[in-house]
Amino acid sequence: MKTDYTPELISELKSFLVERMVDNMSTKDLVAYVTDDLDEFYGKMTDSQFMIEAQNYWDDPLIFDEVVGDIEDYMNCPFSLNRRENESTAD
């Protein structure tokens, strides 16, 4: 196997391979991949880093507080289940 490729060629090949792999993924596969990637990304953050990220996502402090309140209400419902556990049984 040839091993003397230029870094520029390898970079372009990587970009092309990513493009091809994404093009050939189903929407369900893409959603699963992005979900797993974001779970891992947020899981590596400290709680304070994550809270800053979440507050930045919900730009308006009132909306962020409403989202947090909705999640707290859901967590206190007798029928609430772990979202990840539900996905694995739904397939």
> How high is the pLDDT of residue 87?
59
What's the mean pLDDT in 84-91? 57
Residue 19 pLDDT greater than 70, yes or no: yes
Question: Which tokens is 34 given?
Answer: 């992005």
CA 25 and chain centroid, separation:
16
> How high is the pLDDT of residue 86?
58
Phi then psi dihedrals of residue 85, to 5 deg:
-65, -40
Taking the C-alpha atoms of residue 23 and residue 36, their distance in angstroms, rounded to an integer, is 19
pTM equals 0.67
How confident is the model over 56-76, as pLDDT tens digits? 999 999 999 999 999 999 888
